Amino acid sequence: MKRKFFHLTSGHDNSSFFPTKRHTAFRMAHHREGGGSGSDEDEEAKKQLLKEVRQAAKEEIKSDANYKQFEQMSEAWKTLPLEAVRSLCDEKTGVLARFSKLDEQMLEFETRANKAGDKQLTLRGQIEAWVETNKTALEGIRNKKKMALEPLELNTRVATSPMLPSNTYVGTGLPVPFYEPGVHDVVRVQPTFWDYVTKGATDSPVYAWVNKTNPQGAAGFVGPGVLKPAISFQLTTAISNYKKIAATDKVAQELLWDVKGMETLIKDELRYQILIALNSALLAGAGSATVPTGIRNLSVAYTLVGVETTNPNYMDALRAAVAQLRSGNLTGPITIFINPVDSANMDLTKATTSGNYMLPPFVTSDGRTIAGAAVVEEPGIPVGFFQAGFMQYYRVLIYKGLILTFGWENDDFTKNLITYLGEMAIHQFFNTQYTGAFIYDSFANVLAAITATP
């Protein structure tokens, strides 16, 4: 609030709430010794003084309610001696000074006090109490006696009643919260396929194997002295060079100071990012010098002939895919990966005539085994497609397990920046001897192939 300053006297503090222009009546009243003579001059000086302070109040007090209260109080001052009025108008302890500094606060303060029914807590109540306490002194001043007058001290603090959270808590941090231990991770896709991949370990950066290829000739029945049938084959070497996957996270040293377990959170995030990227690559990687070949790109389509039925459903399509895998020369457990949406559609399959839920005899009661093949929900499989095969033929050898290290680069040391590095190296390979071990196709294609013609 912008305040105007006025001169009171030249021998004391130079500031007050009265105009610089010095009125004769006020000057005479101020320098009069004792409590004043009660003469016409004193009354004139008091009248002029009250006029001056009311004018200042109009400029200083912005709240209408506070100004009305001040106006009512100042009206009652007409009955007080000049010295008492001067005390009430003092710049530091006077009523107008208090109003000017706490204009908005006093409005709220008085409202609360009135609601509580405690008149003494209001500004007016305190002044009336002061007048009552100093009644004898004020009466003596009126009778032209020199009396000791207690200073008026206004208490602008009030005990809020009732105490509520809204008016009791100051600042932040209250009430003190209880933090549940740990951090809730982001809900996101997990590396499901990785758990079903056949894995091993090796300490060699280059992994090689030998395939028997190009067999020629065959055995036969022959008579005595006849040339025996000849056979032959070739040996072909295949080589796998390891492929590396990595991720980094640069953080400020202060984060490690301020958050308990921050380093563990960083390491867990690096581990997740590496495994989910590896999971995606093993499912559908294009295959290159640095990227593994995903099982999808090593799979064949459904081509089996001879399996047909009327009104086939998704379970029938998967049963036909198992039949194609079994009709080859490969053996072993079969695993089928489907999207969770397709899994739900399979569970909701109903008979076309009765409308009852239908469970074929080749499917277990939970729907998770079809003709002996395990069915796994994998979000990485697109809706409407499936991936099936003998998983022992899709191999991963871990050359370097997940390694987490940290250090500094460039001028990071002086900047208090630390780089966390996560990396992993694997061999992913597929022996072409086992071509046909995997099928990747859409349900629509298989359904069309196995639908019996009328």
CB 422 within 8 A of CB 402: yes
* Bond from prior residue into 162 cis (ω within 30 degrees of 0): yes
The answer to whether 343 and 375 have CB atoms below 8 angstroms apart is yes
**Which distant-in-sequence residues (6+ apart) come within 8 Å of 370 by Cβ?**
315, 318, 319, 322, 336, 362, 363, 364
User: DSSP state, 29?
Assistant: H
Q: Which two tokens stand for residue 212?
A: 């028997």
* Amino acid found at 64: D
Note the pLDDT of residue 164.
84
Q: How far is CA 200 from the centre of its chain?
A: 39
Please tell me whether the overall predicted TM-score, pTM, comes out greater than 0.95 for this model: no
Cα–Cα distance, 336 to 361 (Å, whole number): 18
Question: Is there a contact between 282 and 438 (Cβ–Cβ < 8 Å)?
Answer: no
Ranking 13-22, 49-58, 96-105, 198-207 by mean pLDDT, the lowest is 13-22
Each residue of 284-333: pLDDT tens digit?
999 999 999 999 999 999 999 999 999 899 999 999 999 999 998 899 99
The mean pLDDT value for 164-170 works out to 82
- Cα dihedral sign for 266, 267, 273, 276? negative
pLDDT in tens, 16-55: 333 333 333 333 334 444 444 456 777 888 788 778 777 7
Q: How far apart are alpha carbons 400 and 69 in whole angstroms?
A: 84
Sheet holding 369-370, edge to edge: 369-370, 373-377, 335-338, 385-389, 438-442
DSSP output for 395-416: EEEEEEEEEEEEE--TTHHHHT
CB 229 within 8 A of CB 218: yes
* DSSP secondary structure letter of residue 124: H
Output 183-191 pairs: Cβ under 8 A, ≥24 positions apart. Answer: 183/261, 183/265, 185/268, 188/276, 189/276, 189/379, 189/380, 190/276, 191/275, 191/276, 191/278, 191/279
Residue 251: strand, helix, or coil = strand
Angstrom CA distances, 277 to 77, 124, 197, 291, 338, stand at 85, 75, 14, 11, 19
Position with higher pLDDT, 54 vs 91: 54
**pLDDT tens digits for range 406-454:** 999 888 999 999 999 999 999 998 998 999 999 999 999 999 999 998 7
Domains of the chain: 24-168 (no CATH), 187-215+234-454 (3.30.2400.10)
Neighbours of 388 (CB within 10 A): 25
The burial class, CB within 10 Å (0-12 / 13-18 / 19+), for 365 is exposed
Mean pLDDT on 142-165: 73
pLDDT classification of 98: cutoffs 50, 70, 90: low
- Residue with the bigger pLDDT between 56 and 226: it is 226
Residue pair 88/152 in contact (Cβ under 8 Å)? The answer is yes
φ, ψ for residue 284 (rounded to 5)?
Answer: -140, 20
Element (H, E) at 31: helix 24-31
State the Cα–Cα distance between residues 232 and 253, nearest whole angstrom: 67
- Rounded mean pLDDT of the chain? 82
pLDDT of residue 360: 84
Sign of the four-CA dihedral 45, 48, 53, 56: negative
pLDDT of residue 198: 93
